[in-house]
Structure 1
Amino acid sequence: MTYNLEKFLKGLEELQIELSDNQIQQFIRYYEMLVEKNKVMNLTAITEFDEVIEKHFLDSLSLIKVYDLKKEVSVMDMGTGAGFPGIPLKIAFPNLKVTLADSLNKRILFLQEVIEELGLKDIEALHARAEELGKNKEYREKFDLVVSRAVANLSSLEEYCVPFVKIGGNFISYKSGEIEEEVANAKNATFLLGGKMKEVYKFDLYEQKRSFVVIDKVKGTPKTYPRKAGTPTKTPL
Structure 2
Amino acid sequence: MTQAWVEHAAASFEVQLTPEQIAQFETYAAQLAEWNERVNLTAITEPEAVRIRHFLDSLSLVQAVPMRPNMRVADVGTGAGLPGLAVAIAYPKVHVHLIESTGKKVRFLDHIVTTLALKNATTLHARAEDAGQNPQYREQYDLVVARAVARLPALLEYLLPLTRVGGHAIAMKGKTAFIEADDSGRALQVLGGRLNDIVAIDLPGVDEPHHLIVVEKIAKTPAHYPRKPGIPTRAPLID
Superposed pair shares fold, TM > 0.5:
yes
CA distance in structure 1 between the partners assigned to 2:79 and 2:153 by the alignment: 20
Counterpart residue number, 2:126: 128
* Aligned residue in 2 for 1:217: 217
Do 1:80 and 1:150's aligned partners in 2 also have CA atoms closer than 8 Å?
no
What is the CA–CA distance in structure 1 between the aligned matches of 2:183 and 2:196, rounded to whole Å? 16
Count residues in correspondence. 234
CA distance in structure 1 between the aligned counterparts of 2:159 and 2:202, rounded to whole angstroms: 25
Deviation at 1:203, TM superposition (A): 2.8
Q: CA deviation at 1:70?
A: 3.5
Partner in structure 2 of residue 158 of structure 1: 156
Aligned CA RMSD, in angstroms, stands at 1.1
Equivalent pair of 2:60/2:201 in contact (CA under 8 Å): no
Q: How does 1:59-208 map to 2 (within 5 A)?
A: 59-205=57-203, 206-208=206-208
Q: Deviations over 1:93-129 (max 9, x none)?
A: 1111010001101101110010000010121111100
Which amino acid in structure 1 is aligned with residue 160 of structure 2? V
Q: CA deviation at 1:9?
A: 2.2
The whole-number CA distance in structure 1 between the counterparts of 2:208 and 2:17 is: 25
1:41 aligns with 39
- 1:50 aligned partner, one-letter code: E
Q: 1:7 aligns with which of 4, 7, 28?
A: 4
Q: 1:17 to 1:217 in 2, by over 3 A?
A: same
Structure 1 residues 178-226: Cα deviation after superposition (integer angstroms, max 9, x where no partner): 3222111101001100111111112332323111111111111001100
SS for the counterpart of 1:208 is coil
Query: Match of 1:198, SS?
Result: strand
Farther-moved stretch of structure 1 (23-32 vs 197-206): 197-206
Amino acid at match of 2:31: M
2 CA distance for matches of 1:9 and 1:19?
Answer: 7
Deviation of 1:72 (Å): 2.6
Cα drift, residue 33 of structure 1: 0.6
CA contact (8 A) 1:147 1:172 kept: yes
C-alpha displacement of 1:18: 1.0
Q: Which runs of 5+ in 2 are unaligned?
A: none
Deviation at 1:16, TM superposition (A): 1.7
Q: Any idea what the Cα deviations from partners look like across 1:35-90, whole Å, max 9, x if unmatched?
A: 00001110011111100011000000011111111443000000000000000001
Q: Please give the secondary structure, in 1, of the residue aligned with 2:209.
A: strand
With the length of structure 2 as denominator, give the TM-score of the two structures.
0.95
Structure 2 residue aligned with 1:227: 227
CA distance in 2, matches of 1:178, 1:133: 27
Measured in 1, the distance between the counterparts of 2:129 and 2:192 equals: 17
Distance in structure 1 (CA, Å) of the matches to 2:5 and 2:208: 17
Where do 5+ consecutive residues of structure 1 fail to align? none
Letter in 2 for 1:10: E
| Amino acid across the alignment from 1:158 | L
Which secondary structure does the structure 1 equivalent of 2:202 belong to?
strand
TM-score by structure 1 length?
0.96
Contact (CA 8 Å) 1:7, 1:50: kept in 2 or not?
Answer: no
Matched-pair identity in %? 40
